[in-house]
């Protein structure tokens, strides 16, 4: 314990030295801008700015890049809440309840809760990272394709909780998303699927153009032409802060989101994107009034925002403890380290304590910096909404197109966004929920890949899922959850969803 404290002090002495502090600050600011820009998410931000760090020494470079990653997670919630445009894929769930809160005039409260939730999650998860990195990393490495597959199947179950109203509609949307996710190169055999000769579709439809189009563009399409433009919200200062009840409502979701996000984040692979989706589902399942979700439930903002921030710390665990690239973002960070002559690996913590502990300390510092940055910015951003809509939305549109284009320098991505914008517009009119589509697009390629890799590993034996303890446990949990949901059928009660639907139709229970 004392050794850890000693190391931490060493870390803080590095992190609080003015040059490093400056770079952390720069990283946070740039990250916030990147997060606010639609389409350009943390991966794009870090990749774009990687070359800018070549002239710096290793610690400053890593600290700045981590700041960008964090800042992007904080910033992504801003556009989600204010304009229903996801700043990155992980902010999609915040679009739903966050934007609903904004429409009710609680934009400031939503932003503040998101900021505070992100801060708590960020800080707590860094503490966990500090103490638990090596043992957690070894555990995380044991997640191979079969375990991944089981986890993702659990993720599919999450889809059931993502929409209000008709289950059939939600499943239809999920299926659409899963189908869209099948476009691209089949990783196992090299066949191009549904690409119709367009090389850019080889990697599939990116989740970013889909999310921005489905949520952001469709919002613009639906709102821009209304005869009565949306009422400009002019909140007073008191209205900017969350009420006592709202803080109370946010408390448990923040803690749950933190734990959940961290656990999901440490798993190698891209699973950390689904942390916010899973948190949303958990919050809805545990809520006393689940029908609030979709209309502006505080838990629907607090949980996912905390989850996606603590997932970022979780993602660093295998990277720092073992030098294993556990996802695209840690891979870029590892590359940054290599470029600066730091060889990542299991000995990183021992050989480069200033780097590791300086990094940890700068994450604490970064979280504080971002909280201080974001809270006053709440007022600034909300004032942005005062611009008359006919002048505001062209600007938003420019940034959407620009952001989506910039990620891959690809016009095809812009077209995908346009098509999904049209789809999202139509879905709104027909009262379908777009969120399951996004989850489907993310999950489909991952599930298929995990299944086929598992079978390749076992030479075709399906028994592999039962011979590996972690995979079996996860699958058992999934089966249990499905059985539990059938309980209502057996006991002849109506579950809350049907009660809601009946209430909508004005029937009596």
238 forms part of the interface with other proteins (CB under 8 A): no
Closer of 24 and 121 to other proteins (Cβ): 24
Backbone phi, then psi, for 507, in 5-degree steps?
A: -80, 170
| Beta carbon of residue 195, minimum distance to other proteins (angstroms, whole number) | 9
How many separate helices (H) and strands (E) can be counted in the chain? 23, 2
- The span from the CA of 110 to the CA of 78, in Å, is 9
Cβ contacts of residue 106 below 8 Å, gap of 6+? 239, 242, 246, 296
Site of tokens 């139709």: 505
499 forms part of the interface with other proteins (CB under 8 A): no
Sketch the per residue contact string, 317 through 356, with other proteins: x for CB under 8 A, - otherwise.
Answer: -x---xxxxx-x--xx-xxx-xxxx-xxxxx---------
Sketch the per residue contact string, 360 through 389, with other proteins: x for CB under 8 A, - otherwise.
Answer: ------------------------------
Size of the site for other proteins (CB under 8 A): 103
485 forms part of the interface with other proteins (CB under 8 A): no
- Partner residues linked to 193 by β-bridges: 184
443 forms part of the interface with other proteins (CB under 8 A): no
Closer of 179 and 224 to other proteins (Cβ): 224
Q: Looking at residue 225, what DSSP letter applies?
A: T
- The span from the CA of 71 to the CA of 56, in Å, is 20
- The span from the CA of 473 to the CA of 177, in Å, is 27
* From 134, 172, 498, 499, residue interacting with other proteins (rule: CB under 8 A): 498
134 forms part of the interface with other proteins (CB under 8 A): no
**C-beta atoms surrounding 41 within 10 Å:** 30
Sketch the per residue contact string, 240 through 279, with other proteins: x for CB under 8 A, - otherwise.
Answer: ----------------------------xx----------
437 forms part of the interface with other proteins (CB under 8 A): no
Closer of 18 and 460 to other proteins (Cβ): 460
With H, G, I as helix, E, B as strand and everything else as coil, classify residue 437: helix
| Beta carbon of residue 187, minimum distance to other proteins (angstroms, whole number) | 6
| Beta carbon of residue 15, minimum distance to other proteins (angstroms, whole number) | 24
* From 221, 302, 321, 475, residue interacting with other proteins (rule: CB under 8 A): 221
Query: Per this entry, what is the length of the chain?
Result: 509
Site of tokens 């909508």: 504
Closer of 379 and 394 to other proteins (Cβ): 394
Integer CA distances (angstroms), 269 to 152, 221, 336, 384, 444, in order = 11, 35, 19, 37, 14
Q: Looking at residue 216, what DSSP letter applies?
A: I
Q: Which sign, positive or negative, has the C-alpha torsion 473, 153, 291, 248?
A: positive
Closer of 22 and 456 to other proteins (Cβ): 456
237 forms part of the interface with other proteins (CB under 8 A): no
- The span from the CA of 314 to the CA of 318, in Å, is 8
* From 128, 210, 414, 438, residue interacting with other proteins (rule: CB under 8 A): 414
**Where is 450: in which H helix or E strand?**
helix 435-457
- The span from the CA of 40 to the CA of 216, in Å, is 13
- Scanning 124-132, 187-195, 231-239, 288-296 for contacts with other proteins by CB under 8 A, the matching segment is 187-195
DSSP string covering 304-339: HHHHHHHHHHHHHHHHHHH----SHHHHHHHHHHHH
| Beta carbon of residue 205, minimum distance to other proteins (angstroms, whole number) | 12
- Scanning 83-91, 159-167, 366-374, 436-444 for contacts with other proteins by CB under 8 A, the matching segment is 159-167
Closest C-alpha to 230, from 386, 87, 76 = 386
* From 8, 185, 470, 481, residue interacting with other proteins (rule: CB under 8 A): 185
| Beta carbon of residue 247, minimum distance to other proteins (angstroms, whole number) | 34
* From 105, 144, 353, 478, residue interacting with other proteins (rule: CB under 8 A): 144
- The span from the CA of 404 to the CA of 40, in Å, is 7
Cβ contacts of residue 466 below 8 Å, gap of 6+? 472
Closer of 105 and 229 to other proteins (Cβ): 229
Q: Which sign, positive or negative, has the C-alpha torsion 357, 312, 272, 72?
A: negative
Residue 223 tokens read as: 């709102």
Closer of 88 and 305 to other proteins (Cβ): 88
Sketch the per residue contact string, 6 through 45, with other proteins: x for CB under 8 A, - otherwise.
Answer: ------------------------x--xx-----x----x
- The span from the CA of 375 to the CA of 369, in Å, is 10
Backbone phi, then psi, for 400, in 5-degree steps?
A: -65, -50
* From 18, 197, 376, 506, residue interacting with other proteins (rule: CB under 8 A): 197
Q: What is the b/e burial string over 173-184, where b = at least 16 CB atoms within 10 angstroms of the residue's CB? A: bbebbbebbbbb
Site of tokens 């004005």: 506
With H, G, I as helix, E, B as strand and everything else as coil, classify residue 342: coil
Residue ranges in 451-480 that form contacts with other proteins under rule CB under 8 A: 452-453, 455-457, 459-460
| Beta carbon of residue 203, minimum distance to other proteins (angstroms, whole number) | 5
| Beta carbon of residue 300, minimum distance to other proteins (angstroms, whole number) | 21
Sketch the per residue contact string, 50 through 79, with other proteins: x for CB under 8 A, - otherwise.
Answer: xxx-x-------------------------
496 forms part of the interface with other proteins (CB under 8 A): no
* From 22, 104, 194, 202, residue interacting with other proteins (rule: CB under 8 A): 202
434 forms part of the interface with other proteins (CB under 8 A): no
């Amino acid at each position: 314990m004392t050794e850890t404290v000693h190391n931490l002090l060493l870390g803080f002495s590095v992190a609080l030295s003015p040059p490093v502090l400056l770079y952390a600050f720069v990283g946070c600011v740039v990250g916030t801008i990147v997060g606010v820009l639609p389409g350009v998410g943390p991966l794009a931000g870090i990749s774009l700015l990687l070359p800018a760090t070549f002239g710096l020494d290793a610690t400053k470079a890593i600290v700045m890049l981590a700041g960008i990653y964090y800042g992007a997670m904080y910033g992504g919630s801003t556009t989600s809440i204010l304009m229903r445009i996801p700043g990155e894929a992980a902010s999609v769930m915040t679009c739903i309840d966050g934007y609903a809160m904004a429409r009710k005039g609680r934009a400031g409260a939503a932003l503040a809760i998101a900021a505070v939730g992100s801060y708590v999650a960020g800080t707590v998860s860094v503490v966990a990272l500090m103490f638990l990195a090596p043992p957690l990393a070894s555990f995380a490495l044991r997640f191979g394709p079969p375990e991944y597959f089981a986890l993702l199947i659990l993720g599919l179950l999450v889809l059931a909780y993502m929409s209000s109203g008709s289950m059939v509609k939600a499943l239809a949307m999920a299926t659409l998303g899963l189908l869209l996710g099948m476009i691209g190169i089949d990783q196992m055999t090299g066949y191009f699927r549904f690409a119709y000769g367009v090389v850019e579709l080889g990697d599939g439809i990116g989740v970013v153009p889909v999310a921005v189009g489905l949520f952001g563009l469709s919002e613009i399409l639906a709102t821009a032409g209304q005869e009565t433009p949306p009422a400009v919200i002019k909140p007073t200062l008191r209205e900017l802060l969350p009420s006592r009840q709202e803080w109370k409502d946010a408390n448990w979701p923040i803690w749950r989101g933190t734990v959940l996000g961290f656990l999901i984040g440490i798993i190698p692979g891209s699973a950390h994107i689904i942390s916010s989706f899973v948190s949303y589902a958990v919050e809805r399942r545990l809520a006393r009034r689940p029908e609030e979700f979709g209309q502006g439930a505080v838990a629907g903002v607090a949980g996912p925002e905390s989850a996606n921030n603590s997932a970022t710390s979780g993602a660093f665990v295998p990277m720092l403890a073992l030098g294993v690239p556990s996802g695209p973002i840690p891979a870029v960070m590892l590359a940054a380290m290599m470029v600066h002559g730091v060889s990542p690996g299991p000995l990183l913590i021992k050989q480069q304590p200033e780097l590791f502990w300086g990094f940890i300390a700068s994450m604490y510092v970064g979280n504080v910096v971002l909280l201080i940055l974001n809270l006053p910015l709440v007022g600034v951003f909300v004032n942005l909404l005062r611009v008359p809509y006919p002048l505001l939305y062209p600007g938003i549109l420019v940034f959407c197109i620009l952001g989506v284009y910039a990620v891959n320098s690809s016009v095809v991505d812009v077209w995908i966004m346009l098509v999904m914008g049209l789809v999202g517009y139509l879905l709104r009119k027909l009262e379908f929920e777009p969120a399951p589509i996004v989850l489907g697009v993310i999950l489909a390629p991952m599930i298929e890949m995990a299944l086929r890799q598992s079978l390749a590993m076992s030479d075709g034996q399906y028994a592999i899922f039962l011979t590996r303890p972690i995979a079996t446990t996860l699958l058992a949990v999934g089966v249990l959850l499905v059985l539990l949901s059938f309980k209502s059928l057996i006991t002849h009660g109506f579950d809350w969803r049907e009660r809601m639907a009946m209430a909508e139709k004005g029937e009596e229970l």
